[in-house]
Structure 1
Amino acid sequence: MNPRPVSNRQATLLRKLNKKKYRAKEQLFLIEGARAIEQILANSSVSVQHLFFDESQQYWNQQFWQEAMTKVKGAVLDEKLFAEVSDTDNPQGVLAMCQMPQETSAKRLASQEGTIVALDAVQDPGNLGTIIRTASWFGAGGIISGKGTVDLFHPKVVRATAGATGSIPFLNGSLPDIFGTLEEHGWPIYLLDAGPEAIPLKDVNLQGKAVITVGNEAHGVSPELINGHRQTVKIPSAGTDRKVESLNAAIATSIVLYGLNENL
């Protein structure tokens, strides 16, 4: 089975989906790379609408993609156009256009138990993608994307999730407002911060549910989120002679999720 040549309409849409406003308008996003797309197809976390192949790499001749095209339509792009719509310096030969999952609500998040990860102006796509992937691994119940956080469906974020995109309920919005709803339903808000009032991670006493807030890579958690009833939490370093100032945001989140998982 050979895929059809890409249509002009499809080519125009592919170009547009590299911009956030068009992703939001069309409710579509792109995933690039064979392994990530294979994972998405396997776990059915999002609906794959169309597959696009780089003519020069001819992935569609492989058995896996032949089988995939019995369920999802495919199209071929010439090498120049594929490179234009790709978000990588070395295009990986196959793209998937996917339907964006529907957002959840604060009330739905509040009705469950477990761990929720909140993102306060996390701007690095690689960090965000790794956080989503790690949160999925540890079974987090949701991702809250606050103001200033990079788009969850940015191509670099999607690539960094390694196929975990869509595996966790997500909500975009104002963290103060969403936190208010969650706190009304008994959710404690923990803020990753190394300030003097922060307690060590091992001293966090979980009661079945928790919101872990990850701050901006350079500036940390916004001051407006810190108040008397929200506990700041730190990851103590080994020894006192530290050679680095802080941990990477994604690494810190991974350690916290592991630590909380051990405490549950």
Structure 2
Amino acid sequence: MEIMSPQNARVKEWAGLLEKKHRDKGGKYIIEGVHLVQEALLAEADVDILAYDIDKGMPAELNCLLQSVPGMETIAVSPPVIAKCSSTNTPQPVFAVVRKPRENAEAALDKPGSLVVVLDGVQDPGNVGTIIRSADAAGADGVILGRGSADLYNPKTIRSTMGSMFHLPIVEADLAEILPQARQRGVLLVSTSLQGVDSCYSHDFRSGSQWLVIGSEGRGISPETAAQVNKSIIIPMKGRAESLNAAMAATILLFEAMRQRGD
């Protein structure tokens, strides 16, 4: 099948997925570029449509994966269609429409010895995507996005994950509900604070399930979330920087937890 006009009704629907209201309504999102599409296919994400630049042809990296995705529609489109559905100034030659997964927090709540990252109002899409990527690299069991955090399916967030969003469970949840449930099940909720007594290097990440609560870049965690936290630890710094951004702080904690757990 081919679609050449950017005014085509289907193209307008795809382009609409660049906006959150249309992603929420349709339960779908858009990913751009060979690498992200390849990661989605390899992870068996629910890819609905794969569109590629008719002038450049189907990328070789994707050809071998097409047969393994039953029900996926492949469509050749014109460069103007590609441009209309892209969030960047230099559009990639391929994009895909993907159905949102139905993730819930039960797996993270029930898994013994889990390591989970909880984001409380982390608004920068780049930081959210980087944290997901670090969580993937460190072998975490999941990421929970509290209300007020950047949308997982924002194109900037997606690009920052570099495909890691397909490798581990990511759940959007109300922290006022899920954190008390976690505590009731014996999860230790840990956050960072300049007033923390223990350093992240003396804290024991090996005991039981631990959720690392990361707050917004400007305000930290909310008072409501802070009331649920069991322990605050500090990331030691020798220089004159006042603090680290959310992604850097989360990455340090994740890799120290990985080192201690011997993963």
Q: TM-score higher than 0.5 here?
A: yes
**CA offset digits 1:51-77 (Å, max 9, x no partner):** 112345x141x4334444444422233
2:9 aligned partner: 9
1:202 aligned partner: 201
Is the contact made by 1:193 and 1:233 (CA closer than 8 Å) also made in structure 2? yes
Distance 1:111 1:65 in 2: 36
Alignment of 1:25 with 2:25, yes or no, is yes
* SS of match in other structure, 1:104: coil
Alignment CA distance shift 1:5-1:246 (3 Å):
same
Aligned pairs for 1:3-82 within 5 A: 3-5=1-3, 8-44=8-44, 46-56=45-55, 58-60=56-58, 62-70=59-67, 71=69, 72-82=72-82
Alignment CA distance shift 1:164-1:6 (3 Å):
farther
Alignment CA distance shift 1:73-1:259 (3 Å):
same
Shift of 1:79: 2.2
- Over aligned residue pairs, what C-alpha RMSD do you find? 2.0
Shift of 1:229: 5.9
Is the contact made by 1:101 and 1:166 (CA closer than 8 Å) also made in structure 2? no
Is the contact made by 1:192 and 1:221 (CA closer than 8 Å) also made in structure 2? no
Unaligned runs of 5+ in 2: none
Return the letter of the residue paired with 2:219.
H
1:263 aligned partner: 260
1:247 aligned partner: 244
Unaligned runs of 5+ in 1: none
Alignment of 1:144 with 2:141, yes or no, is no
1:132 aligned partner: 132
* SS of match in other structure, 2:14: helix
Return the letter of the residue paired with 2:191.
L
Is the contact made by 2:196 and 2:234 (CA closer than 8 Å) also made in structure 1? no
Which range is displaced more, 82-91 or 227-236? 227-236
Distance 2:197 2:12 in 1: 50
Alignment CA distance shift 1:32-1:178 (3 Å):
same
Is the contact made by 2:16 and 2:22 (CA closer than 8 Å) also made in structure 1? yes
Q: TM-score, normalised by structure 2?
A: 0.89
Identity %: 29
Distance 2:24 2:131 in 1: 22
**CA offset digits 1:85-130 (Å, max 9, x no partner):** 201121111101111111213x432110320110011111111111
* SS of match in other structure, 1:165: helix
Distance 1:197 1:54 in 2: 53
Is the contact made by 2:191 and 2:229 (CA closer than 8 Å) also made in structure 1? no
Distance 2:197 2:91 in 1: 44
Is the contact made by 2:32 and 2:92 (CA closer than 8 Å) also made in structure 1? yes
* SS of match in other structure, 2:166: coil
**CA offset digits 1:33-68 (Å, max 9, x no partner):** 111211222232x12111112345x141x4334444
Shift of 1:133: 1.3
Is the contact made by 2:52 and 2:75 (CA closer than 8 Å) also made in structure 1? yes
Is the contact made by 2:142 and 2:169 (CA closer than 8 Å) also made in structure 1? yes
* SS of match in other structure, 2:95: strand
Distance 1:127 1:116 in 2: 16
Is the contact made by 2:108 and 2:114 (CA closer than 8 Å) also made in structure 1? no
Alignment CA distance shift 1:65-1:205 (3 Å):
closer
1:104 aligned partner: 104
Shift of 1:167: 2.2
| Number of aligned residues | 254
* SS of match in other structure, 1:11: helix
